[in-house]
């Protein structure tokens, strides 16, 4: 930041200086040009600013009157310049006094056709592509026959280019001519046409496209129908859910050009069992809240895939008023696989409620559920982030429910969870990540924070966890942090992160450190950075050198 403001201040001063000059800067181009020296022999910069300032002013619309004066001075200065770099600079400024060239007349139609013909005979794919474009330049909309004929070509690049060249002329008649080719074309060429029809949103051809839903081009046809949209496409896609191309139909409906909710809601009531999983997925994703009852019913299906899809969809179709219903479901589930998604749906039901009242309501419900299923409600309790929930989970942690409670305590945004996480970290250091997050968020005093990070670092084993802690340490720029980070530079697994952190912390506490110490730290950081070859790191090396040169030894 210091560096940036320095740049701004110096440029701002210069700008004022330019401003003063600007009034008659257009008179002093020759004078300033005379001051320019061969590169490296002097400080040309201020004269370069002045000259280019004059050029910018004289080329500003409305300042035409200044142009002749500046131009002639530049010409004289160029004439007088003996150094080639100086001359080159002046010429680069004179360039701006010119007028943009009018585009040259293109080749005649005859010439274009001659080139097109020649290129069409080429053995190179891209030259043949150029030929079709040239024909397009000449014939425009009349080039349809050639484009249609290209669909029989073996070269995919050529076919696609032919279609591309006709984009701006294509109309319903052309689209119909394309689909009329289907019976004679192979799968590959049909795929190109279907892609083109989709991109062009050729709705006149939707029937022909739907006609391909059951063949080898099903995926291409369904993707095209999704881009085109409309009632017919929607109904056809929905009716293909559960069939051989269920997955393609589902994908097409996910990005369907239009609202699919009504169709999905209706189909959930009527479609075959095979279509259910994809329909349920769509219902969840698109928040078909009026399908709540159908989704709950599907959750009780004997078919495992359907039941799981329903459980996953539940969150999307539930609203806050469904909370008790979902809580009852959660309590009564037999299939272990469904617990997590239904618990997630319950979290969604309480997402908009204030933490204290949500946890009060959940706890009053939990009070009456059998001991064996109480753990299922830990995630929703944790999601309230309330003290009430934290206390409940801590008690559970200490009394026979430690794993489930710990999992919930790792997600709760409440500082009360911190000691439990630290305790758990002695067995699994990944808990330190959440611990450190809580410290960063809730501990306000810097030295207390630094102490907590140090404690965490002692328990950290893996490089990933150590790196997270190192990242957090930069928020406490103290000499103690500098010393700690320095020791981490020797650990190759975390050296890079430690170097980044050390660089930033040293800069912040530079006022309290002797020059020798800063230099020692930066030298170590440079050693680490030099191995990376990354542009930003190499810049950072420069930046550190500049920083050091600005300090008193």
Partner 1 sequence: MNNSRRSFIKKSTAAVAACTILPREVFGRMGGSNNFIAPSDQLTHGIIGVGGIGRSDSHFYSDSSCRLVAMCDVDSEHLKSAFNAAKEQFGQTTRTYSDWRELVHDPNVDVVHIATPPHWHGIMACEAARAGKDIWCEKPMTRTIGEGKRVLEAVKRNGRVFRLNTWFRFKDTFYGLGTTVKPLKKLVDSGLLGWPLTVRISGATGFAWKFYWVGKENLAPQPVPECLDYDMWLGPAPYKPYNVHRTHQTFRGYWDYDGGGLADMGQHYIDPVQYILGRDDTFPVKVEIDAPQQHPDAVGTWRSITYTYDDGCKIILEGEGYESEGKVPYIEGPLGKVYKGFECTIPNVMNLINELPDPKIEETDFIRAVGSRHQFSLDESKGFHSSTVVNMGVCALRLGRNLEFDPVRQMFVNDDAANLLIDQPMRGDWANYIK
The smaller minimum CB distance to partner 1, of residues 331 and 504, is found at 504
Given a contact cutoff of 8 angstroms between Cβ atoms, the answer to whether 307 and 298 are in contact is: yes
Q: How far is the CB of 181 from partner 1 (least distance, A)?
A: 18
The smaller minimum CB distance to partner 1, of residues 224 and 424, is found at 224
Q: How far is the CB of 130 from partner 1 (least distance, A)?
A: 5
Distance CA 30, CA 399 (A): 89
Residue 125 CA neighbour count, 13 Å, CB half: 9
Per CB under 8 A, which region of 27-35, 211-219, 237-245, 254-262 contacts partner 1?
254-262
Given a contact cutoff of 8 angstroms between Cβ atoms, the answer to whether 481 and 505 are in contact is: yes
Map the footprint of partner 1 across residues 4-63, applying CB under 8 A: 4-5, 7-8, 11-12, 14-15, 18, 39-40, 42-45, 48-49, 51-53, 55-56, 59-61
Map the footprint of partner 1 across residues 311-340, applying CB under 8 A: 316
User: Is residue 278 within the footprint of partner 1 (CB under 8 A)?
Assistant: no
The smaller minimum CB distance to partner 1, of residues 237 and 488, is found at 237
Question: Residues binding partner 1: what is the number (CB under 8 A)?
Answer: 83
User: Is residue 203 within the footprint of partner 1 (CB under 8 A)?
Assistant: no
The smaller minimum CB distance to partner 1, of residues 37 and 398, is found at 37
Per CB under 8 A, which region of 252-260, 265-273, 475-483, 522-530 contacts partner 1?
252-260
Specify burial of residue 294 (Cβ count, 10 A radius: 0-12, 13-18, 19+).
buried
Map the footprint of partner 1 across residues 78-137, applying CB under 8 A: 85, 88-89, 92-93, 95-100, 123-127, 129-130, 133
The residue within the footprint of partner 1, chosen from 257, 331, 402, 459 (CB under 8 A), is 257
* Angstrom distances, CA of residue 544 to CA of 2, 482, 501, 537, 541: 13, 16, 13, 10, 5
Map the footprint of partner 1 across residues 127-186, applying CB under 8 A: 127, 129-130, 133, 154-161, 164
Q: What angle do CA 44, 47, 49 make, to 5 degrees?
A: 105
The smaller minimum CB distance to partner 1, of residues 295 and 405, is found at 295
User: Is residue 75 within the footprint of partner 1 (CB under 8 A)?
Assistant: no
Q: How far is the CB of 552 from partner 1 (least distance, A)?
A: 24
Specify burial of residue 514 (Cβ count, 10 A radius: 0-12, 13-18, 19+).
exposed
The smaller minimum CB distance to partner 1, of residues 336 and 542, is found at 542
Helices (H) and strands (E) in the chain, counts: 33, 0
The residue within the footprint of partner 1, chosen from 534, 545, 550, 551 (CB under 8 A), is 534
Residue 336 CA neighbour count, 13 Å, CB half: 1
The smaller minimum CB distance to partner 1, of residues 183 and 352, is found at 352
User: Is residue 350 within the footprint of partner 1 (CB under 8 A)?
Assistant: no
Q: What are phi and psi of 480, to 5 degrees?
A: -60, -45
Q: How far is the CB of 406 from partner 1 (least distance, A)?
A: 27
The residue within the footprint of partner 1, chosen from 536, 549, 552, 553 (CB under 8 A), is 536
User: Is residue 65 within the footprint of partner 1 (CB under 8 A)?
Assistant: no
User: Is residue 434 within the footprint of partner 1 (CB under 8 A)?
Assistant: no
Q: What angle do CA 69, 73, 75 make, to 5 degrees?
A: 120
**In three state form, how does the secondary structure of 474-518 look?**
CCCCCHHHHHHHHHHCCCCCCHHHHHHHHHHHHHHHHHHCCHHHH
Per DSSP, 28 falls in state: S
CA dihedral 319, 321, 324, 330 (to 10 degrees): -10
User: Residues in the chain, how many?
Assistant: 553
């Amino acid at each position: 930041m210091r560096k940036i403001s320095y740049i701004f201040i110096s440029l701002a001063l210069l700008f004022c200086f330019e401003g003063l000059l600007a009034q008659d800067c257009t008179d002093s181009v020759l004078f300033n040009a005379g001051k320019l020296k061969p590169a490296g022999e002097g400080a040309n910069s201020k004269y370069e600013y002045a000259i280019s300032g004059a050029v910018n002013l004289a080329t500003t619309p409305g300042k035409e009157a200044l142009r002749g004066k500046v131009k002639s001075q530049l010409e004289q200065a160029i004439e007088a310049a003996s150094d080639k770099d100086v001359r080159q600079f002046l010429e680069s400024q004179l360039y701006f006094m010119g007028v943009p060239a009018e585009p040259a007349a293109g080749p005649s139609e005859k010439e274009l056709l001659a080139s097109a013909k020649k290129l069409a005979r080429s053995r190179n794919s891209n030259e043949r592509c150029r030929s079709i474009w040239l024909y397009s330049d000449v014939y425009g909309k009349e080039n349809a026959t050639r484009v249609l004929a290209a669909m029989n070509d073996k070269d995919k690049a050529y076919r696609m280019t032919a279609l591309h060249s006709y984009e701006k002329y294509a109309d319903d008649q052309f689209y119909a001519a394309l689909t009329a080719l289907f019976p004679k074309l192979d799968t590959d060429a049909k795929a190109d046409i279907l892609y083109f029809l989709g991109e062009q949103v050729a709705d006149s051809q939707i029937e022909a496209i739907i006609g391909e839903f059951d063949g080898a081009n099903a995926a291409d046809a369904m993707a095209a129908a999704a881009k085109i949209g409309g009632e017919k496409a929607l109904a056809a896609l929905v009716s293909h859910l559960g069939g051989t191309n269920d997955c393609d139909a589902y994908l097409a409906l996910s990005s369907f050009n239009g609202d699919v909710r009504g169709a999905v809601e209706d189909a959930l009531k009527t479609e075959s069992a095979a279509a259910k999983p994809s329909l349920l997925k769509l219902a969840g994703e698109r928040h078909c809240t009026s399908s709540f009852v159908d989704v709950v019913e599907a959750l009780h299906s004997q078919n495992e895939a359907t039941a799981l899809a329903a459980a996953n969809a539940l969150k999307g179709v539930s609203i806050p008023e469904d909370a008790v219903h979902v809580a009852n479901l959660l309590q009564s589930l037999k299939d272990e696989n469904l617990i997590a998604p239904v618990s997630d749906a319950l979290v969604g039901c309480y997402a908009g409620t204030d933490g204290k009242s949500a946890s009060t309501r959940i706890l009053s419900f939990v009070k009456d559920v059998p001991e064996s299923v109480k753990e299922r409600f830990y995630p929703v309790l944790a999601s309230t982030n309330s003290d009430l929930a934290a206390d409940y989970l801590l008690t559970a942690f200490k009394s026979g429910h430690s794993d489930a409670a710990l999992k919930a305590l790792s997600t709760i945004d409440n500082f009360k969870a911190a000691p439990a996480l630290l305790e758990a970290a002695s067995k699994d250091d990944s808990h330190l990540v959440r611990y450190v997050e809580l410290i960063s968020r809730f501990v306000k005093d810097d030295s207390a924070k630094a102490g907590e990070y140090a404690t965490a670092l002692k328990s950290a084993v893996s490089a990933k966890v150590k790196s997270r802690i190192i990242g957090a340490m930069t928020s406490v720029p103290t000499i103690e942090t500098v010393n700690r980070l320095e020791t981490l530079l020797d650990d190759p697994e975390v050296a890079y992160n430690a170097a980044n952190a050390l660089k930033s912390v040293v800069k912040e506490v530079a006022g309290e450190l002797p020059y020798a110490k800063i230099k020692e730290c930066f030298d170590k950081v440079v050693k680490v950075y030099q191995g990376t070859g990354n542009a930003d790191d190499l810049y950072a090396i420069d930046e550190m050198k500049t920083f050091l040169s600005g300090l008193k030894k």
